Amino acid sequence: MKNVLEELQSLDPRDPGRWPLPVLAGAVGLAFLVLSAVGIWFFVWNDQRPRLEQFAAEEQTLRGEFRQKHAKAVNLEVYKQQLKDIERSFGALLRQLPGKTEVPSLLVDISQTGLAAGLSEKLFQPQPEQKKDFYAELPIKIKLSGSYHQFGEFVSGIAALPRIVTLHDIDIKPDNKDAYDQLSLELTAKTYRYLDEDEIAAVEADKKSARKPGT
């Protein structure tokens, strides 16, 4: 081993032609390995690095999608139960909407609620209904005369109706300058009814017709 080291130290790097054949072959092999590594770096790895980075980014995206889908799969039964709860709540609300044949009696109930509160009915004027996706909105212009206390009873009576009725554009002002507690109440009451299948189909047809160019 000592002789080999001494022999290597005695080599003249400026004159490789005089090196022993084994040493010269080893040097050539080492140089070949170094040049091969450099070539691989520049012509293979460096050229393919953008693609590798792209694949790495895609891997992270796929991992994220997998985690999301896995979480959904784990909570599938919870989502199903939530959907059932939503459908049940929606059904309860839908049952509060009258059908077409029930609307006249509902209008009578609204009018009677004001009279039951002791209010004087100056105006009760149903407006044209406005059809939405699956229901129709029925506005009613109402003008009543009475006291604050009677107005409170009217609002409470409306809230107690079995059907949905909402009050909008409320305006209260003195009805008679000589009677401080005699007031005038103007508002728009809105009730709603569900559409039957033919009416829903007609609404959808109107929407499609409105979306067509040139119409």
Walk along the chain (215 residues) and give the pLDDT tens digit of each residue.
445 445 555 555 555 555 555 655 666 566 667 666 666 666 555 566 666 677 777 888 888 887 787 777 767 676 767 767 666 665 556 566 777 778 888 899 999 999 999 999 999 999 998 887 778 889 999 999 998 899 999 999 999 988 888 999 999 888 777 666 788 999 999 988 877 777 777 767 777 777 666 54
- How far apart (Å, rounded) are the C-alpha atoms in residues 48 and 23? 36
> Which tokens go with 83?
């959907």
Residue 112 has a CB neighbour count (10 Å cut-off) of 12
Residue 82 has a CB neighbour count (10 Å cut-off) of 11
pTM: 0.52
Q: What is the pLDDT of residue 22?
A: 61
Q: What is the pLDDT of residue 62?
A: 82
Give 110's contacts (C-beta < 8 A, 6+ positions apart): 124, 140, 142, 158, 161, 165, 189, 191
> Which tokens go with 136?
């129709």
- Residue 178 parent element (H or E): none
> Which tokens go with 17?
């032609």
CATH of 100-200, one of 3.40.1410.10, 3.30.70.60, 3.40.50.300, 1.10.443.10: 3.30.70.60
3-state DSSP assignment of residue 17: helix
